[in-house]
Amino acid sequence: MIGITYITEANRRAFLAKAAGKSHDSVQSSYDNIRDAQKVVDGVIEDIKTRGDEALFYYTEKWDKVRLDAKSAVLYPDGIAEIAKRLEPEKYGVIARAAKRIEKFHALQKQKSWFETGENGEILGQLVTPVESVGAYAPGGTAVLSSSLLMCVIPARVAGVKSVAVCTPADGNGEISPALAAAAHIAGVDIIYKFGGAQAIAALAYGTETVQKVDKVVGPGNLYVALAKKSVFGQVGIDSIAGPSEITVIADAAANPAYVAADMLSQAEHIMGSAICLTDSAELAAAVQLELERQIRTLPTGAAAAASLRDNGAIAVVPDIRAALALSNEIAPEHLELCVGEAFSFLPLVKNAGAVFLGPYTPEPVGDYYAGPNHILPTDGKARFFSPLCVDDFVKKTSVISFSEEALRQAAADVTAFAEMEKLSAHAEAVRIRL
């Protein structure tokens, strides 16, 4: 199912390429798939821009196999609340408790406007203002992700966004799940549109007769959703382009191999998920290999997990835990688990990761559902330069500058000199004319 690699300088580059899904065959296959999907997405976006609702409902019937119209495609708060009532009280309670923790964590991220005044009458500052409207995508096809809805909507509400819409595919009867409705009700969603795919992203970006266009689109989705978000960037803001789920588990000789294998499978069960174990113990590597084989036999999603491990899984033996962290920093995984003794002592060595899980009792799903930090994280190595979705994604920062006459006189020589150095004489004259 999955072999063991002993990392050396000679094979390090090849291992990293495989960990990133960059073997020649996989790159060519991915390129072909993406190229073909992009053609479809481009056509959908242009069609939505031209025909609006007509195109929106056409693609929804074609791909989601559900016929909708302007009335049946929309749910307002009262309708959302009615569907939410169908969810069993204990499940509703689970969502509500998770939402409370998510809100508490994200409230700590909120920034305020600030101003600094100089003695010469100079005032500099920064206004922090929320985005006016946001559209969140909540997957509802093979997996109905109520948790992702919470992770998108709650930070937006904490930031002060006035209008939050959610797009999610309806089932064959034109309904959405009570769990998704409960999450939307608890998070304070203003409107749910019961369609998904590239057509939903295009509608949010450009608007239709039924869909009010928004300022920013966030949330995970399949390849077509990701490509659509990429295509509409500039017309609207987006969070990031999410790829398949990833986990890298760093484990020492004392780690429990059953825990490590279970955590790898928690991401491998996602389609095209990546699951990597880095360890300084050959014995632990062999034990994890056996545990994967044992656990996958009884896993309901075992077929998907086996495919992910075959294509994107790896167990690697490295000289020591510091070497494992150096390798992980190059992988820049979405999720990084440190199943090692004194896990906190290694935290300063983590440079690139979407989220870090420390110690044997912090499995990745705790972060997915309950802990509070956002689970919409950078994938595909983007943790080198991207951050998790957060309150900052839903605000704008505006610089504020006010100079008194005295302040301008003090700065004039430097400002005009800089302008003349760049041969922009009108810039310099805009200062001189005031003096």
Catalytic residues: 334-335
Which uninterrupted H or E stretch holds 149?
helix 146-159
Q: Are 171 and 56 in contact (CB under 8 A)?
A: no
Q: Is 66 left (phi over 0), alpha (psi -120 to 50) or beta?
A: beta
Q: Show the tokens assigned to 90.
A: 């204990």
Torsion angle in degrees (nearest 10) through CA of 298, 304, 310, 315: -60
- Among candidate residues 77, 63, 74, the one with its CA nearest the CA of residue 228: 63
- Say how far apart CA 234 and CA 237 lie, in whole Å: 6
Q: Are 193 and 221 in contact (CB under 8 A)?
A: no
- Say how far apart CA 415 and CA 32 lie, in whole Å: 52
Ramachandran angles phi, psi of 164, nearest 5°: -125, 120
Q: Is 366 left (phi over 0), alpha (psi -120 to 50) or beta?
A: alpha
- Say how far apart CA 135 and CA 115 lie, in whole Å: 31
Q: Are 206 and 180 in contact (CB under 8 A)?
A: no
CA 213 to chain CA mean position, Å: 21
